[in-house]
């Protein structure tokens, strides 16, 4: 792939408030996490991350109800990969399931929805669900993560790398249909 456009990938991170979306954005785009204080994202944040030949535009969308209700369709439009983040509490996993159903209606089969079962460091201490159990409930591919640990960066990058192969295949197929 030579052209810049072909190497540009839109990754959308969505989920309810305080599940760790901005922390994942920082994990991908910064060397270290300097502040773990919760500051709700107003609107959205966007960072560009290089991965091999790819330029990833990673969109971190504020999870407050007003945003999701009004802008979810706009957020998701043109995504190549959608990550739905949950904090792995049973209640949040259930509301994330609704968000997945809603997102599916918006984007159809256009792009994969992958779940991130975040805050896995808290599974043993306060009854959060393991990634396998989250996957059973959500019925979409699910990866466990502890986004506050900078050592998890390579795991998150590998998850994206795995999905990029599919992005390339889908684009090639779409081109051959034109
Ligand atoms: N223990 C633990 N805390 C985490 C983890 N990931 C994020 N947090 C904390 O959870 C809080 C919320 O994280 P954010 O990344 O700001 O949440 P958000 O999903 O962007 O929230 P909105 O912007 O309101 O939609 C912060 O205090 C983070 O430090 C994790 O893996 N483990
Ligand atoms: Mg945020």
Could you report the per-residue pLDDT of 20-60, keeping only the tens digit for each? 999 999 999 998 888 889 999 999 999 999 999 999 999 99
- Is 1 a domain residue? no
For ligand 1, is residue 6 a contact (CB within 6 Å)? no
Distance 37 CA to ligand 1 centre (A): 8
Counted domains in the chain: 1
Q: Does residue 56 form part of some domain? A: yes
Query: Is 119 a domain residue?
Result: yes
* pLDDT range class, residue 4, cuts 50, 70, 90: low
Q: Which ligand 1 atom is at minimum distance from the Cα of 41?
A: 23
Which residue CA neighbors atom 26 of ligand 1 most closely? Answer: 38
DSSP state of 40: P
**pLDDT-above-70 percentage for the chain:** 96
Give a yes or no: residue 50 inside a domain: yes
Residues β-bridged to residue 51: 54
How far, in Å, is the centroid of ligand 2 from the Cα of 39? 7
| Nearest-angstrom CA–CA distance, 19 and 106 | 22
- Asked whether residue 2 is assigned to any structural domain, the reply reads no
Distance between Cα 158 and ligand 2 center (Å): 22
Q: What is the pLDDT at residue 5?
A: 63
Find how far residue 21's CA is from the centre of its chain: 7
More confident residue, 7 or 23: 23
User: Average pLDDT of the chain?
Assistant: 93
Best CA proximity match to 112, nearest among 52, 55, 159, 54:
159
Task: Give 13 Cα–ligand 1 centroid separation in angstroms.
Answer: 13
Pocket test of ligand 1: the residue of 18, 37, 46, 125 to mutate, having most ligand atoms within 8 Å of its CB, is 18
The domain that contains 21 carries what CATH number?
3.40.50.300
Q: Count Cβ atoms within 10 A of the Cβ of residue 31 and give its class: 0-12 exposed, 13-18 middle, 19 or more buried.
A: exposed
Answer yes or no: is the C-beta of 121 below 6 A from any ligand 1 atom: yes
- Residue 45 domain-assigned? yes
Q: What is the mean pLDDT of residues 77-90?
A: 97
Q: Which domain holds residue 104?
A: 8-176
Burial class (CB in 10 A: 0-12, 13-18, 19+), 134: buried
Q: Under DSSP, is residue 44 helix (H, G, I), strand (E, B) or coil?
A: strand
Gyration radius of the chain over CA positions: 16
């Amino acid at each position: 792939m030579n052209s810049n456009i072909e190497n540009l990938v839109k990754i959308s991170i969505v989920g309810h408030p305080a599940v760790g979306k901005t922390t994942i954005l920082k994990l991908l785009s910064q060397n270290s996490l300097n502040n773990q204080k919760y500051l709700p994202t107003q609107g959205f944040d966007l960072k560009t991350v290089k991965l091999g030949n790819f330029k990833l535009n990673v969109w971190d969308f504020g999870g407050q109800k007003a945003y999701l209700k009004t802008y979810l369709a706009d957020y998701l439009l043109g995504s190549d990969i959608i990550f739905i983040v949950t904090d792995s509490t049973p209640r949040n996993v259930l509301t994330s399931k609704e968000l997945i159903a809603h997102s599916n209606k918006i984007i159809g089969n256009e792009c994969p929805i992958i779940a991130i079962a975040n805050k896995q460091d808290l599974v043993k201490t306060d009854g959060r669900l393991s990634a396998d159990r989250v996957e059973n409930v959500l019925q979409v591919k699910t990866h466990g993560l502890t986004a506050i640990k900078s050592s998890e960066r390579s795991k998150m990058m590998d998850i994206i790398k795995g999905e990029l192969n599919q992005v390339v295949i889908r684009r090639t197929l779409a081109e051959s249909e034109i």
